[in-house]
Amino acid sequence: MTRVEMRVRYVKPLVFMLCLMPFGLLIARGASGALGPNPVEAITHFTGDWTLRLLLATLAVTPLRRLTGHVWLVRYRRMLGLFTFFYAVLHFTTYLWLDRFFDLGAIAEDVLKRPYITVGFAAFVLMVPLAITSTQGWVRRLGRRWKTLHRAVYAIGVLGVLHYLWLVKADLLEPAIYGVILAVLLGLRVPWGDLSRRLAARRRRRPRVAPERR
């Protein structure tokens, strides 16, 4: 087993537990009655916040890999993406069940008339095929189309930030921070191809220094 494989093997369970911790915290708060006077709103905001945070963490994997050269970071991207979908499902289910009690008429009216729900619903719909096709089997079946499909994560990020921004209306600091982080993560993807090739060419031209003898 290589050093990279050992690192992934031992760190992956830690990443899994860290991603699951917010869910455990939510259950603990619910069991202790610490969700406040409006528990449905508290659950909705909590799960929405963690959906967006993990989405940004997922988008950060590729820039971090390129900046650090640690290819093994990509091994955690799928797990982060699936946990993002997990919290999105909790967020959406809270709205459907605890907020609207599966009133399809009221839900349809919200989607059509409330912009923040419209973009949030669109983001969730886009996440579904990405979660379904996250397995190696689907990667093989779709081939090059898999990458094209999963570029929808960029649109999901934009829709997620808009959903939060249009929801809060007044206190815009936190959604603005998420928006800046998203803009940076997306911006790092634009010019990186040419820059990475230039850095690679520079490393190839760099003379190797013989190790000092003791």
Between CA 154 and CA 58 the distance in angstroms is 11
- What pLDDT score does 195 carry? 57
The alpha-helical segments, DSSP class H, found in the chain are 3-32, 39-68, 77-93, 104-113, 115-132, 136-142, 144-150, 152-168, 173-187, 192-205
Residue identified by tokens 């093994």 is 72
CA distances to 95, 98, 195 from 121, in Å:
11, 16, 37
Q: Whole-model pTM?
A: 0.85
Q: Is residue 38 part of a domain?
A: yes
For 159-207, the pLDDT digits (tens) are 999 999 999 877 889 999 999 999 999 998 776 555 556 656 666 666 5
| Cα distance between the two ends of the chain | 31
- What pLDDT score does 214 carry? 41
138 CB-near residues (< 8 Å, 6+ apart) = 132, 146
Q: Is residue 58 part of a domain?
A: yes
Q: Pull the structure tokens for residue 209.
A: 């220094």
For 69-117, the pLDDT digits (tens) are 888 888 899 999 999 999 999 999 999 999 999 999 999 999 999 999 9
Q: Is residue 94 part of a domain?
A: yes
Q: Pull the structure tokens for residue 51.
A: 């959906």
In which domain, by residue range, is 187 found? 3-201
Q: Is residue 208 part of a domain?
A: no
Q: Is residue 130 part of a domain?
A: yes
Our count of domains for the chain comes to: 1
- What pLDDT score does 211 carry? 46
Cα angle 141-69-180, degrees, rounded to a multiple of 5: 85
Q: Is residue 212 part of a domain?
A: no
For 141-161, the pLDDT digits (tens) are 999 899 999 999 999 999 999
Q: Is residue 213 part of a domain?
A: no
Q: Is residue 159 part of a domain?
A: yes
